[in-house]
């Protein structure tokens, strides 16, 4: 048996994710299997996870939160390791490679930071990040994250529903869409020097999508504030859509009456639609969307797992798309 | 006078080194290094958060690199006069094929779980995969006729005509890479390969054009 390098985390709420009885039973089963040769291999694999649980936490500031009781906000899947969540990122402002953001994002200055909330609202306001942090109670929510590239993670985010902020600025009747704008400062973000995308990064949601309580304004993960490469100091998390719909390091939230021109849609309209709901039935030209690889959990030789409609959040969000042709509005 | 003699001396030394029996063994071991690294990385869990993706991408990178090296042999040989380089062309070509097989196998295994039905449905659905698969199919007859008796059996002229398929293969490979990266709008590396391949193929076109004009 050989031991793998420990790249794990401490997750304070781990016992809440999987009921103790369930994992105790699983461990007993593993012990039984452990008698065979195949079982020995499985036991080594299981031990790897056990080791990961004992690892020290990260080094960022703690961000206390209460467990969310919103339906659908806590999935039962095992959270992805912090080391994987913070080292495997798509954040082109820091480079197009998956490892680039972790390497380059240290130059991002997250204080002072303001978020301008403007457009079709009665009470536009430039929020200081400290005020945003205290705007509503911080909740821990464990969401699946499905990347359009065919991989997925499970992330214990900390934040609150975007609707909390939306209600406070009082959108007008013309506010049909919400646009999110990411910082684009080439001094802090080396990737912005290359015109891979039309900077700044712009994403958008329909107003009813933005008001859906699952749409999360996130400030942290794993009990700490967000690492820069994960979109510090504030980002969106829209768990039923492909990851790129969730803008990172947001500086502007704008309420508009027309569908915003989003960055990836502008770059390749036939590949990335405005809605980009997770949908195993609509393939990307370069990737099948029917299956996905769960980072850190599905071993090298494990079968990919089936992708779920709306990433498994159909019960919570499906009704918003009733009657829409999702092949057309991909 | 003394200088050109020195240059000639260095050239002769290089030629001698290239002709050493050990040269092939050294090259063989060197060409296996990327494979050894990936194999070790997979075993020791050192391939990052998504090891399957790392394996598929890296083996693909090495196919393009070995194809470029293979295609560089003849221009380099003719420009430098180190004709002993010709000894290594077949091995480099076969290593291109070796990494292409690994590339295809890692896709078929790690991404598709060797589900033949799924693979057959998946490849035609995605033009970029189809192009890569076409390059793979085109490379099969080249690998199959890489030994001396095949050259004899086919006759040098037919064998050479068949092996010109490598030009199509490298272009399909480049298109495959370009399409893959176009999803990310990231053409930096693609441009490097494009320039190298353009030089390697352009040199051959130039030679052919000059030869035709001479007749």
Q: Do B185 and A267 touch (CB under 8 A)?
A: yes
Q: Which residue of A4, A152, A287, A298 to mutate against B (max B Cβ within 10 Å)? A: A287
- Looking at chain B, the whole-number percentage of residues with pLDDT higher than 70 is 99
- How close B44 comes to chain A (CA, Å)? 7
Q: Which residue of A272, A288, A298 to mutate against B (max B Cβ within 10 Å)? A: A288
- Gap between the Cα atoms of A189 and A24, Å rounded: 46
Q: Which residue of A9, A149, A300 to mutate against B (max B Cβ within 10 Å)? A: A300
pLDDT at A135 (0 to 100): 98
Report the DSSP pairing between strands A139-146 and A151-161: antiparallel
- Looking at chain A, the whole-number percentage of residues with pLDDT higher than 70 is 82
**Among A104, A231, A107, residue whose Cα is nearest residue A157:** A231
Of A196, A197, A285, the CB nearest to B127: A285
Q: Do B48 and A87 touch (CB under 8 A)?
A: yes
By C-alpha distance, the chain B residue nearest A271 is B183
Of A84, A285, A300, the CB nearest to B126: A285
Residue B206 has pLDDT above 80, yes or no: yes
Structure tokens at A136: 């509503």
By C-alpha distance, the chain B residue nearest A304 is B111
Report the DSSP pairing between strands A114-119 and A125-128: antiparallel
Of B45, B127, B183, the CB nearest to A271: B183
Set of chain B residues whose Cβ sits within 8 Å of the Cβ of A98: 48-50
Residue A57 has pLDDT above 80, yes or no: no
Set of chain B residues whose Cβ sits within 8 Å of the Cβ of A296: 49
Q: Do B183 and A5 touch (CB under 8 A)?
A: no
Task: Give the CATH fold of the A2-321 domain.
Answer: Sulfite Oxidase; Chain A, domain 2 (3.90.420)
Q: Do A304 and B126 touch (CB under 8 A)?
A: no
pLDDT at A22 (0 to 100): 60
Report the DSSP pairing between strands A114-119 and A250-256: parallel
Set of chain A residues whose Cβ sits within 8 Å of the Cβ of B107: none
> If you search the block for the tokens 């030869």, which residue do you land on?
B211
Among A37-41, A149-153, B59-63, the minimum mean pLDDT is found in A37-41
Question: In which band, very low, low, confident or very high, does the pLDDT at B184 lie, cut at 50, 70 and 90?
Answer: confident
By C-alpha distance, the chain B residue nearest A91 is B184
Nearest 5°: the CA angle B133, B139, B144 is: 135
Q: Do B126 and A267 touch (CB under 8 A)?
A: no
- Gap between the Cα atoms of B8 and B2, Å rounded: 10
Set of chain B residues whose Cβ sits within 8 Å of the Cβ of A99: 48
**Among A132, A159, A150, A256, residue whose Cα is nearest residue A203:** A256
**Residues B23, B87: contact at Cβ < 8 Å?**
yes
pLDDT in tens, A161-217: 999 999 999 999 999 999 999 999 999 999 999 888 999 999 999 999 999 999 999
**Residues B70, B102: contact at Cβ < 8 Å?**
no
pLDDT in tens, B8-31: 788 888 888 888 889 999 999 999
**With left for phi above 0 and alpha for psi between -120 and 50, is residue B155 left, alpha or beta?**
left
**Residues A180, A252: contact at Cβ < 8 Å?**
yes
Coil/strand/helix, residue B154 = helix
Structure tokens at A113: 């930071």
Q: Do B111 and A304 touch (CB under 8 A)?
A: yes
- How close A94 comes to chain B (CA, Å)? 13
Q: Do B183 and A283 touch (CB under 8 A)?
A: no
pLDDT in tens, A226-273: 999 999 999 999 999 999 999 999 999 999 999 999 999 998 888 899
Q: Do A84 and B49 touch (CB under 8 A)?
A: yes
**Among A102, A84, A6, residue whose Cα is nearest residue A49:** A6
pLDDT at A44 (0 to 100): 44
Residue A301 has pLDDT above 90, yes or no: no
> If you search the block for the tokens 């909390």, which residue do you land on?
A164
pLDDT in tens, B88-114: 999 999 999 999 999 999 999 998 889
pLDDT in tens, A21-36: 565 555 555 454 444 4
Q: Which residues of A touch B (CB under 8 A)?
A: 4-5, 83-84, 87-88, 96, 98-99, 151, 194, 196-197, 267-268, 271, 283-288, 293, 295-296, 300-301, 303-304
Question: Which one is predicted more confidently, B6 or B145?
Answer: B145
- Gap between the Cα atoms of A148 and A205, Å rounded: 17
- DSSP 8-state assignment for residue A299: -
- How close B34 comes to chain A (CA, Å)? 19
Of A88, A197, A287, the CB nearest to B185: A197
Q: What is the pTM of this model?
A: 0.80
Q: Do A268 and B185 touch (CB under 8 A)?
A: yes
- Gap between the Cα atoms of A89 and A101, Å rounded: 6
Among A2-11, A36-45, B190-199, the minimum mean pLDDT is found in A36-45
Of A4, A283, A286, the CB nearest to B45: A4
pLDDT at B122 (0 to 100): 87
Q: Which residues of B touch A (CB under 8 A)?
A: 42, 44-45, 48-53, 55, 109-111, 113, 122, 125-129, 179-180, 182-186, 188
Instruction: Write the ipTM.
Output: 0.77
By C-alpha distance, the chain B residue nearest A194 is B186
Residue A50 has pLDDT above 50, yes or no: no
């Amino acid at each position: 048996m050989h031991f793998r390098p420990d790249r794990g985390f401490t997750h304070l709420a781990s016992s809440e994710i999987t009921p103790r009885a369930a994992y105790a039973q699983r461990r007993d089963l593993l012990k039984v299997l452990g008698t065979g040769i195949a079982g020995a291999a499985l036991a080594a694999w299981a031990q790897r996870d056990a080791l990961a649980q004992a690892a020290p936490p990260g080094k960022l500031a703690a961000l206390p939160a209460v467990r969310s009781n919103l339906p659908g906000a806590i999935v039962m899947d095992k959270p992805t390791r912090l080391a994987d969540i913070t080292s495997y990122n798509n954040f082109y402002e820091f480079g197009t490679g998956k490892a680039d953001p972790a390497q380059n994002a240290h130059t991002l200055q997250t204080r002072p930071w303001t978020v301008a909330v403007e457009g079709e609202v009665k009470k536009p306001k430039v929020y200081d990040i400290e005020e945003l942090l205290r705007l509503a109670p911080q909740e821990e929510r464990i969401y699946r994250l499905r990347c359009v590239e065919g991989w997925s993670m499970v992330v214990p985010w900390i934040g609150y529903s975007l609707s909390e902020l939306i209600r406070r600025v009082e959108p007008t009747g013309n506010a049909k869409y919400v646009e999110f704008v990411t910082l684009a400062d080439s001094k802090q973000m080396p990737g912005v020097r290359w015109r891979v995308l039309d900077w700044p990064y712009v994403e958008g949601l329909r107003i009813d999508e933005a008001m859906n309580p699952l749409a999360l304004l996130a400030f942290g993960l794993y009990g700490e504030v967000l690492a820069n490469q994960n979109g510090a100091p504030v980002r969106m998390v829209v768990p039923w859509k492909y990851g790129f719909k969730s803008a990172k390091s947001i500086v502007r939230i704008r309420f508009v009456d027309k569908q915003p021109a989003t960055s990836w849609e502008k770059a390749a309209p036939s590949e990335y639609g405005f809605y980009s709901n997770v949908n195993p039935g609509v393939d990307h030209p370069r990737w099948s969307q029917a299956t996905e690889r769960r980072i850190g959990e599905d071993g090298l030789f494990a079968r990919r797992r089936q992708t779920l409609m709306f990433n498994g959040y159909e019960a919570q969000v499906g009704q918003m798309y009733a009657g829409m042709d999702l092949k057309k509005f991909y | 006078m003394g200088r050109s003699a020195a240059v000639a001396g260095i050239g002769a030394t290089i030629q001698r080194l290239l002709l050493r029996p050990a040269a092939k063994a050294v090259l063989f071991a060197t060409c296996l290094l990327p494979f050894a690294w990936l194999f070790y990385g997979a075993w020791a869990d050192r391939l990052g958060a998504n090891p399957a993706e790392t394996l598929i991408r890296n083996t693909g990178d090495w196919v393009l690199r070995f194809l470029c090296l293979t295609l560089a042999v003849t221009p380099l040989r003719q420009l430098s006069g180190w004709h002993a380089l010709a000894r290594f062309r077949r091995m480099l070509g076969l290593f291109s094929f070796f990494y292409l097989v690994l590339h295809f196998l890692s896709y078929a295994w790690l991404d598709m779980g060797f589900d033949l039905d799924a693979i057959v449905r998946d490849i035609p659905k995605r033009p970029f995969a189809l192009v890569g698969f076409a390059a793979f199919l085109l490379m099969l007859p080249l690998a199959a006729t890489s030994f001396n008796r095949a050259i004899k059996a086919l006759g040098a002229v037919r064998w050479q005509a068949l092996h010109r398929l490598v030009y199509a293969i490298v272009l399909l490979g480049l298109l495959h890479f370009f399409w893959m990266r176009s999803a990310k709008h990231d053409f930096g590396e693609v441009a490097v390969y494009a320039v190298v391949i353009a030089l390697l193929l352009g040199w051959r076109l130039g030679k052919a054009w000059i030869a035709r004009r001479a007749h």
